[in-house]
Amino acid sequence: MKQRTISGEIRFTGVGLHTGTTNQMTLCPAPEGSGICFQRTDIPGEPVMKALADHVASTERSTVLIREQIRVGTPEHLLAAFFGMGVDNVLVKLSGPEVPILDGSAYPFAIAIKDTGVREQKAERVCYNLHHPVYYTDKSSGTMVEVVPAGSFSARVILDFDSGVIGKQEFVFDQGMDFLAEIARSRTFVFLDDVLSLIKKGLIRGGDLDNALVIADKDQSEEDTAILRAIFKRPGLKLQRGYLNDPALHFPNECARHKMMDLLGDLFLAGRRFNASVTAYKPGHAANTAVALMISDQIKKNSYDT
């Protein structure tokens, strides 16, 4: 199979989930072999950083890439769209420090790529065959990720929340799946109980009910209820248990599908597509990107075996 890039420029404008600032983003066709690169057009000299696990600097509630003066926050949904839509080479021009969150899913990116078109390039796409299994375990969170050699790429995500709303969910992805139909629309999610603490940390400044699933599984005090209504700009919002969004869900297991999206986007930071079977139990950005780095290191050590 040949490498692919997009057929033309694609433009987006939107707020960053965590910074709350409005940024312009332009996706541009890129030469074969260039991979996914981010260019900060607001920084003198317009420096460029390749989207690689080596540049992961933070993983609290999103992935953040930093190299020297370049910072790019929340790239995972965009990267998942590139992975799922079969795109290898793109230059992403960004006017600020964070990729726009848009509706909290990868759908706006994926459908724009479909509408614009994907162009085949001359060079072959090199898909790495994993030589050795990769394992990640975090005892504090219970997270476990296992990546074993296989003839093609597949992934299984298992969520197990102590929540009467989400509970246990699973989702399985393989290369024959329609990313646009099955994964792209799944939105990021947050528990209502975590919203105030995240805001105090300076996070989710751009979050609202239009770009995230908000899950209420505990009763809130009258004081917190008033604050949350003000944050969401919904004075009449009822904080009953369940999903506060309307409509509530695109899929019964939307949370598991979104975690799959995050996993695919973060693993794309390995720098190359690879063949393996991935099982991720209670995954998060820290686990995903650590695994991507281990796979990247393995690719570098075995760069002549594909």
The DSSP secondary structure of 90-142, one letter per residue, reads EEEEESSSB-B-TTSSSHHHHHHHHHH-EEEEEEEP--EE--S-EEEEETTTT
Q: Which residue from 258, 267, 63, 77 is spatially nearest to 153, judged by alpha carbons?
A: 267
Active site residues: 285
Question: What's the rounded Cα separation, in Å, for the pair 281 and 265?
Answer: 17
Whether residue 280 contacts residue 137, with contact meaning beta carbons closer than 8 Å, is answered with no
- Type of residue numbered 79: L
Q: What angle do CA 126, 131, 133 make, to 5 degrees?
A: 120
Question: What's the rounded Cα separation, in Å, for the pair 105 and 78?
Answer: 9
Q: Is the dihedral angle over the CA atoms 254, 215, 279, 276 positive or is it negative?
A: positive
Helix (H) or strand (E) holding 213: strand 213-216
